[in-house]
Amino acid sequence: MRILVTGAAGFIGSHLVDRLMSEGHYVIAMDNLITGKYDNLEPHRSETRFEFIHHNVSNYIHVPGHLDWVVHLASPASPVDYLELPIQTLKVNSLGTHNTLGLAANKGAKYLLASTSEVYGDPEVHPQPETYWGNVNPIGPRGVYDESKRFAEALTTAYNHMHKLDTRIIRIFNCYGPRLRLNDGRVVSNFIYQALKGEALTVYGDGSQTRSFQYVADLVDGIVRTMGCDHHLPINLGNPQEKTVLEIAKLIKELTRSRSEIVFKPLPIDDPRRRLPDITKARELLGWEPKTQLVDGLKETIAWFEAQFPKAAAR
């Protein structure tokens, strides 16, 4: 198939490109490289089934030739990034979603939207099933991401109804793995980076807030399975194993054999207290659930960070 992946140079995008290339597809990778890195796509550079287009999908998109799929992953995704890039975040998830949907409709392609567990905001229901409408502060600092992803889901659903576009929506919960940017600002990358550098691990709040972490290879498998499943309503992709942030800090300290201390910093505004996916739907429709144990995934991630570290330390 001929597949356009937006946000292809990002953390999840580049892993998805690896998988699609390994399955023999033709991949058009699009990214404006504001949070993605071209290096992530380097292995495919000389392949004939691969093209890279440097483009911001918030502007009109032109792709020559036919397309079988448009997979829309482009968006800043770390709270630190979308706080620094609030307007770009709003635009890519609204205008960018509109442009990519229009492109898919024009090409007769199928469409997958990467949405997020952030549509549930600071949830009041645990675990979160897809039927939960969420608890989002529209004007808080995270609103730029949460609300624009909610809009993107609404727009994708409208294209499905009005234009009979064959759409999928996935809600991605916290994900980690190799190629997280060292300075991405998210918890796993921060803690590994700090532990390897011998700096204090910065736990925000008292560390009792929870997240559920899935390894990127598991998520990519869930994305590919969703593409193969004829279901238009949102599907949660996440790990139903809940951990506190303090537990994550201690585990990363142990796995890196770091002597760094753990320090406590103020909790960011609107930081969700708990996040835990109900993945019944993914299990039933896709036969999917995360396979990688947290310790194993973290070891892989730490090894990757260690390999990057000489470069990072030299900067």
Catalytic residues: 145
- Going through 33-109 in order, the beta strands assigned E by DSSP cover 50-54, 69-72
Rounded CA separation 208/210 (Å): 6
Rule CB under 6 A: is residue 165 a binding residue for ligand UDP? no
Stretch that binds ligand UDP, among 14-22, 197-205, 226-234, 252-260 (CB under 6 A): 197-205
Smaller CB separation from ligand UDP, 267 or 285:
267
Smaller CB separation from ligand UDP, 137 or 202:
202
At its nearest, how many Å lie between ligand UDP and the CB of residue 5? 22
Rule CB under 6 A: is residue 186 a binding residue for ligand UDP? yes
Parallel/antiparallel/unpaired status of strands 175-176 and 167-172: unpaired
Rule CB under 6 A: is residue 245 a binding residue for ligand UDP? yes
Give the CA dihedral 144, 147, 152, 154, nearest 10 degrees: -160
Smaller CB separation from ligand UDP, 53 or 267:
267
Rule CB under 6 A: is residue 256 a binding residue for ligand UDP? no
User: Crossing angle, helix 216-227 and helix 11-22, to 10 degrees?
Assistant: 60
Rule CB under 6 A: is residue 156 a binding residue for ligand UDP? no
Token duo for residue 85: 């890039």
From residue 57 to residue 86, the character string flagging contacts with ligand UDP as x (rule: CB under 6 A) and all else as - is ---------------------xx-------
Smaller CB separation from ligand UDP, 13 or 121:
121
- Binder to ligand UDP among 110, 179, 211, 281 (CB under 6 A)? 211
From residue 224 to residue 243, the character string flagging contacts with ligand UDP as x (rule: CB under 6 A) and all else as - is --------------------
Rule CB under 6 A: is residue 244 a binding residue for ligand UDP? no
Smaller CB separation from ligand UDP, 81 or 218:
81
How far apart are the two ends of the chain, measured CA to CA in Å? 41
Please report which helix (H) or strand (E) contains residue 115, including its range.
Answer: strand 110-116
Residue pair 130/281 in contact (Cβ under 8 Å)? The answer is yes
- Binder to ligand UDP among 14, 190, 239, 260 (CB under 6 A)? 190
Q: Tell me the site size for ligand UDP, rule CB under 6 A.
A: 15
Stretch that binds ligand UDP, among 101-109, 263-271, 293-301, 305-313 (CB under 6 A): 263-271
**Backbone phi and psi for residue 152, each to the nearest 5 degrees, phi listed first:** -60, -40
Rounded CA separation 45/125 (Å): 45
Smaller CB separation from ligand UDP, 15 or 275:
275
Rule CB under 6 A: is residue 271 a binding residue for ligand UDP? yes
Could you tell me which of 23, 27, 25 has the C-alpha nearest to residue 45? Answer: 27
Token duo for residue 272: 């969700």
> What b/e sequence results for 41-80 when a residue is b if at least 16 CB atoms lie within 10 Å of its CB, and e otherwise?
beebeeeeebbbbebbbbeebebeeebbbbbbbbbbbbbb
What is the CB neighbour count within 10 angstroms for residue 269? 10
Q: Kindly list the residues in this chain that would bind ligand UDP in the complex (CB under 6 A).
A: 78-79, 174, 186-187, 190, 202-204, 209, 211, 245, 267-268, 271
